[in-house]
């Protein structure tokens, strides 16, 4: 017990010493989303100072936020400018997700703006079937700003709009009714919501002036950002993501980093906007056209019970040709069992074997059988 007490005292003293060495700068006047933060209220000043102390002591966290900002802020700022909305709203994405596309909360909120699946769908985002647009930075930003516009209209201030974004409209309405005020800074809210606006303000103050809070700007270099251009693609059938990566001239990981909203192994049929490396659009469309050309005229086996794979070289490389990504390798004399009018069902799709080449390659393709 004595050792435990000594240990706790040492930890507390160490923490106090660390906090004592921090520089917590509070400007004479602060605005957030164009609204003045009432620093003349001692309670407001104390709450802001508390969050600044906490944030300024999170050295690793803030360093990562700084380094990720270049991957996120240009897109968010462009959308904010297009919509003539306050630039400070970008700091909501910082405190929501730490600027991580694949961030997922304990409640399964996903993406830089942390939408739950039902809320994302309500805001026009596709969630499901190998796609999760909550992780599409531009589309999710538009959805978040639509929501903020609605909240700002209902509650009359950006501070309360942020509180409602965190806690929900119903709870904020209830707090307003119970407490007789619609001033965020005068309300008693749930702990997380009470800190929420101060978190955003603190993120703004530190990220706009890192040197004032003990951060060395020289080490806050941004992470690598893929240069991309957007193209429109109309798919008449689903396409494996690894094939799209090949068409774009990059590896699978790089393509997924450019298109984080693609979550499945295949991209479903339909119209899609894809991010690919600059100057690769012509090659992309040529390769994709060749891919689909090789699919035309194939023969499925609608009534077979089994198909035996045979090739001169032994194992068969399944794919359109040697230059394409490997879809899979099938052993010589491998028997594929089929049922009724379908081919082999794999990962939710019906697969058919067709067009076996002398070079030891072949094809598989999936989807509904066209009668």
User: How far is 10 from 15, CA to CA, in rounded Å?
Assistant: 8
Q: How many CB atoms lie within 10 A of CB 177?
A: 9
User: How far is 181 from 179, CA to CA, in rounded Å?
Assistant: 6
Task: Let me know if residue 5 belongs to a domain.
Answer: no
Better-predicted residue by pLDDT, 301 or 123 = 123
Task: Let me know if residue 123 belongs to a domain.
Answer: yes
Question: Among 200, 219, 238, which residue terminates a domain?
Answer: 219
Give me the chain's average pLDDT, please.
83
Instruction: Yes or no: say if 234 and 275 are a contact pair by the CB < 8 Å rule.
Output: no
pTM: 0.81
Q: For 257-301, how does the pLDDT look when each residue is reduced to its tens digit (9 = 90+)?
A: 999 999 998 898 899 999 999 999 999 999 998 888 776 655 555
Are 212 and 314 within one domain?
no
Q: Quick one: pLDDT at residue 156?
A: 96
Are 148 and 240 within one domain?
no
Q: Quick one: pLDDT at residue 56?
A: 85
For residue 69, give the CATH number of its domain. Answer: 1.10.530.10
Task: Let me know if residue 258 belongs to a domain.
Answer: yes
pLDDT band at 188 (very low <50, low <70, confident <90, very high): very high
Q: Quick one: pLDDT at residue 11?
A: 38
Are 25 and 79 within one domain?
yes
Are 238 and 127 within one domain?
no
**Number of independent structural domains in the chain:** 3
Are 206 and 109 within one domain?
yes
**Helices marked H in 183-321 — which ranges?**
191-208, 241-248, 252-258, 281-293
Task: Let me know if residue 301 belongs to a domain.
Answer: no
Task: Let me know if residue 186 belongs to a domain.
Answer: yes
Give the count of alpha carbons within 13 A of 69, CB side only: 19
Question: Among 187, 219, 251, which residue terminates a domain?
Answer: 219
Instruction: Yes or no: say if 71 and 36 are a contact pair by the CB < 8 Å rule.
Output: no
Are 160 and 274 within one domain?
no
**Given a cut of 80, is residue 347 above it in pLDDT?**
no
Q: Quick one: pLDDT at residue 315?
A: 72
Q: Quick one: pLDDT at residue 305?
A: 55
Better-predicted residue by pLDDT, 348 or 162 = 162
Are 255 and 343 within one domain?
no
Task: Let me know if residue 79 belongs to a domain.
Answer: yes
Are 268 and 333 within one domain?
no
pLDDT band at 59 (very low <50, low <70, confident <90, very high): confident
Are 189 and 257 within one domain?
no
Task: Let me know if residue 361 belongs to a domain.
Answer: yes
Range of the domain at 288: 230-293
Task: Let me know if residue 6 belongs to a domain.
Answer: no
Q: Quick one: pLDDT at residue 3?
A: 44
Those residues whose C-beta lies under 8 Å from the C-beta of residue 90, and which sit 6 or more positions away, are 72, 73, 76, 77, 80
């Amino acid at each position: 017990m004595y050792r435990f007490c000594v240990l706790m005292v040492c930890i507390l003293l160490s923490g106090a010493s660390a906090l004592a060495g921090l520089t917590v700068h509070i400007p004479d006047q602060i605005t957030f989303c164009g609204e003045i933060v009432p620093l003349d209220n001692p309670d407001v000043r104390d709450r802001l100072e508390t969050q600044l102390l906490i944030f300024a002591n999170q050295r690793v966290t803030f360093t990562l936020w700084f380094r990720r900002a270049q991957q996120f802020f240009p897109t968010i700022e462009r959308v904010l400018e297009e919509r003539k909305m306050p630039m400070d709203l970008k700091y909501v994405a910082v405190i929501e997700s730490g600027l991580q596309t694949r961030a997922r909360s304990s409640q399964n909120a996903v993406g830089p703006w942390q939408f739950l699946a039902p809320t994302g769908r309500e805001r026009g985002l596709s969630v499901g079937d190998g796609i999760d647009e909550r992780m599409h930075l531009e589309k999710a930003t538009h959805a978040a700003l639509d929501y903020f516009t609605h909240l700002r209209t209902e509650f009359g201030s950006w501070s309360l709009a942020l509180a409602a974004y965190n806690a929900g409209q119903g709870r904020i309405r209830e707090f307003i009714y119970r407490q007789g005020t619609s001033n965020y800074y005068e309300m008693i809210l749930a702990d997380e919501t009470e800190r929420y606006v101060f978190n955003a303000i603190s993120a703004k103050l530190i990220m706009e002036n890192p040197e004032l809070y003990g951060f060395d700007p020289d080490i806050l270099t941004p992470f690598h950002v893929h240069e991309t251009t957007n193209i429109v693609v109309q798919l008449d059938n689903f396409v494996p993501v690894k094939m799209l990566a090949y068409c774009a001239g990059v590896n699978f990981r790089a393509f997924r980093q450019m298109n984080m909203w693609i979550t499945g192994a295949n991209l479903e049929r339909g119209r899609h906007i894809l991010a690919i490396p600059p100057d690769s659009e012509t090659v992309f469309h040529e390769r994709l056209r060749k891919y689909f050309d090789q699919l035309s005229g194939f023969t499925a086996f609608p009534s077979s019970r089994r198909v035996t794979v045979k090739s001169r070289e032994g194992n068969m490389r399944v794919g359109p040709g040697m230059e394409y990504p490997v879809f899979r390798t099938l052993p010589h004399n491998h028997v594929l069992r089929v049922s009724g009018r379908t081919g082999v069902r794999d990962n939710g799709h019906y697969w058919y074997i067709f067009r076996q080449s002398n070079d030891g390659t072949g094809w598989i393709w999936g989807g509904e059988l066209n009668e």
